[in-house]
């Protein structure tokens, strides 16, 4: 909880003074947008269907355990620093970070294991141990990844380029050397490393973007820079502590956060009038068996809910007809998730990745021939290795994630069979079996994401970062055909992940200010490099 005073000093104008804005959904994108909009002078109400902010970044607090239910990797710390600094704050005002070393461990199913050191010399020694000369090649690869990161962030991510016309810019034309990175990721990384295991280390982070090495452009080599150069961190209290920080900041800026109040309808005024929208919600008070319907009027609405859900279920029928568009999109994977409290020790690192030596069949089962994988690649997170708030003394908190194809049928019998397959696999290949020591266990899968978040096909992320769904080819911030309705979060620009959703909130606020005033209001961002 922040101890800073309520008033946040700012000499910025308030271009949205007098505007009332509803933000639908308190995920990272919604919280970010709410902060920027309130700081610009708007009267902001943030509606969240769950009992606490965070969206996918939820939490389980039970029996002394505290387990994040969604994102668990704190990457790109500069983006979080930049966000809080925009409002005269520091991340240190709200939460404590620990830099991980090793960054993670990889367990291969042939019996091999490798821990990724945080320091460059250790990383080079690891790569050299798998392929002669790969240590020196790693320097070249990470320099290339750093350039991809700087090009991407300075010229395509920090600036808002959510429309094709935004690409008509001198900085974009000076970025021609990025064109070779539009080829496939696996092919590109193969130019650097022959070892399949080293390629897996370089490519696994694409799962964070909802893609695979075979359908994602090589510009996302930048993710190797993100972890191996910039580091991997853990906030004490988990990602939930970052959500709490953003919610605290939003309230300090004057945002009214209304949890346990799902939005059930967004009605544009017909004929057009001010305020432009009626937003209907439901709220079930403590002790009441039925939900009370409420409505309020707003000048604008920013939706952090999935756009297909907004267009199909919240807007009046026929307002926006994009069924064929949404049906043709490539959705990021769903997941089988297990949140577990374990008595005693779990002999795994804070982050552990378990890979078959040939992971192509698993990616095929996600994107090409959807089905439950027979030989899955998966991720195990044990935050209690670093964070004393994650589990009571003498216990461990465990988070297990297996990427799956969106849209799978996950009936209880299928989920239970898959659970046993994964736990058998973990016991056989990582030497860890804690099934007889489980204190509690909760799971989530495809149908849960569909039900709890209105996620199309039960995706656990949003739209994949395929070449045709990158940059301005992702859905725009401005909803088509509905003046005053905007989208924020992982479905739009710049994309999937907590840092990208933070920036999406800034971008959508810029769009709102531009529409309200005829020009943007926030100062130009300071680039992360001096590339010309």
In the block, tokens 């070779």 appear at 180
**What is d(CA 384, CA 22) in angstroms, rounded to the nearest whole number?**
37
In terms of domains, do 164 and 273 share one? no
Q: Is residue 461 part of a domain?
A: no
Q: How many CB atoms lie within 10 A of CB 50?
A: 16
Is the domain of 196 the same as that of 298?
no
- Co-location of 324 and 471 in the same domain: yes
* Number of helical H runs and strand E runs in the chain: 15, 19
Residue after which a domain boundary falls, among 453, 475, 502: 453
| Average of per-residue pLDDT across 381-391 | 96
Regarding whether 170 and 131 lie in a shared domain, the answer is yes
In terms of domains, do 498 and 400 share one? no
Partners of 430 in the beta sheet? none
Last residue of a domain, one of 198, 215, 231: 231
pLDDT of residue 208: 75
Average pLDDT of the chain to the nearest whole number: 88
Confidence class for position 528, pLDDT limits 50, 70, 90: very low
- For the domain that residue 28 is a member of, what is the CATH number? 3.50.50.60
Which pLDDT does position 232 carry in this prediction?
A: 97
The model's pLDDT over 41-87, given as tens digits with 9 standing for 90+, comes to 999 999 999 999 999 999 999 999 999 999 999 999 999 999 999 99
What CATH number is given to the structural domain containing 366? Answer: 3.30.519
Any domain includes 241: yes
7 part of a folded domain: no
Instruction: Let me know if residue 360 belongs to a domain.
Output: yes
pLDDT (0 to 100) of residue 10: 43
Q: Which domain holds residue 397?
A: 329-453
pTM exceeding 0.95:
no
Q: How far apart, in Å, do the first and last CA atoms of the chain sit?
A: 41
Beta strands in 310-449 (DSSP E): 334-343, 351-355, 378-381, 395-404, 438-444
b/e per residue 30-43 (b: at least 16 CB within 10 A): bbbbbbbbbbbbbb
* Listed residues 231, 254, 276: the one ending a domain: 231
Q: Distance between CA atoms of 514 and 122, rounded to whole angstroms?
A: 48
Task: Identify whether residues 477 and 414 lie together within a single domain.
Answer: no
Determine the distance from the C-alpha atom of residue 285 to the mean position of all C-alpha atoms in its chain, rounded to a whole number: 31
Cα–Cα distance, 35 to 248 (Å, whole number): 10
Structural domain includes residue 349: yes
Q: Which residue has the tokens 């974009």?
A: 172
Same domain? For 401 and 291 the reply is no
Q: Is the pLDDT of residue 3 over 70?
A: no
Does residue 9 form part of some domain?
A: no
- Whole-number Å distance between alpha carbons of 231 and 101: 9
Task: Looking at the structure, tell me whether residues 203 and 289 fall in a common domain.
Answer: no
Q: Spell out the long-range contacts of 122-126 with Cβ–Cβ below 8 A and sequence spacing 24 or more.
A: 123/228
Same domain as 360, residue 419: yes
Say if residue 149 is in the same domain as residue 224.
Answer: yes
Within-domain flag for 13: no
324 & 473 share domain: yes
Range 181-203 average pLDDT: 89
Poorest-confidence range of 31-40, 214-223, 508-517? Answer: 214-223
Give yes or no: residues 352 and 391 share one domain: yes
Q: Is residue 285 part of a domain?
A: yes
DSSP characters over 156-196: IISS---SGGGG-SHHHHTTGGGGGGGSBHHHHHHTT---H
Count: domains in the chain: 3
């Amino acid at each position: 909880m922040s101890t800073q005073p309520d008033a946040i000093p700012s000499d910025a104008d308030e271009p949205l003074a007098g505007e009332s804005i509803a933000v639908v959904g308190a995920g990272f994108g919604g919280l970010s947008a709410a902060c920027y909009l309130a700081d610009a002078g708007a009267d902001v109400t943030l509606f969240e269907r769950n009992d606490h902010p965070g969206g996918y970044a939820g939490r389980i607090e039970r029996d002394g355990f505290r387990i994040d239910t969604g994102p668990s990797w704190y990457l790109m710390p500069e983006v979080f620093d930049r966000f809080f600094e925009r409002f005269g704050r520091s991340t240190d005002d709200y939460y404590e970070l620990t830099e991980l070393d090793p960054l993670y461990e990889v367990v291969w199913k042939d019996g091999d294991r490798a821990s990724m050191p945080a320091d460059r010399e250790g990383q080079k020694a690891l790569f050299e141990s798998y392929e002669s000369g790969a240590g020196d090649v790693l320097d070249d690869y990470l320099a290339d990844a750093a350039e991809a990161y700087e090009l991407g962030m300075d010229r395509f991510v920090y600036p808002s380029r959510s429309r094709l016309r935004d690409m008509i810019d001198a900085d974009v034309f000076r970025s021609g050397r990025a064109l070779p990175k539009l080829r496939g990721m696996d092919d590109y990384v193969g130019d650097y490393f022959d070892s399949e295991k080293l390629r897996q280390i370089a490519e696994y982070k694409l799962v964070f973007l909802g893609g695979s090495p075979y359908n994602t452009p090589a510009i996302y080599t930048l993710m190797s820079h993100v972890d191996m150069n910039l580091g991997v961190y853990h906030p004490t209290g988990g990602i939930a502590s970052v959500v709490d920080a953003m919610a605290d900041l939003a309230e300090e800026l004057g945002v009214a956060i209304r949890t346990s109040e799902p939005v059930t309808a967004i009605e544009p005024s017909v004929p057009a009038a001010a305020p432009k929208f009626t937003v209907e919600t439901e709220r079930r008070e403590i002790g009441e068996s039925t939900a009370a319907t409420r409505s309020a009027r707003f000048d604008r609405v920013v939706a952090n809910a999935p756009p297909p859900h907004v267009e199909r279920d919240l807007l009046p029928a026929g307002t926006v007809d994009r069924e064929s568009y949404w049906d043709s999109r490539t959705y990021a994977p769903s997941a089988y998730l297990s949140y577990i409290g374990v008595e005693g020790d779990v002999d795994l690192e804070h982050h552990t990745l378990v890979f078959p030596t040939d992971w192509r069949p698993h990616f095929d089962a996600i994107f090409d021939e959807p089905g439950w994988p027979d030989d899955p690649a998966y991720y195990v997170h044990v935050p209690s290795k670093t964070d004393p708030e994650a589990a009571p003394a003498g216990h461990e908190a465990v988070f297990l994630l297996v990427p799956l194809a969106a849209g799978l049928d996950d009936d209880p019998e299928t989920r239970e069979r898959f659970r046993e397959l994964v736990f058998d696999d973990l016991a056989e290949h990582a030497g860890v079996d804690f099934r007889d020591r489980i204190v509690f266990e909760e799971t989530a899968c495809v149908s849960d994401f569909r039900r709890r978040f209105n996620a199309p096909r039960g995706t656990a992320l949003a739209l994949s970062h395929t070449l045709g769904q990158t940059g301005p080819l992702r859905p725009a911030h401005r909803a088509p055909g509905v003046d005053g309705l905007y989208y924020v979060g992982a479905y739009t620009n710049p994309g999937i992940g907590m840092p990208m959703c933070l920036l999406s909130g800034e971008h959508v606020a810029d769009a709102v200010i531009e529409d309200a005033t005829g020009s943007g209001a926030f100062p130009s961002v300071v680039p992360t490099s001096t590339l010309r």
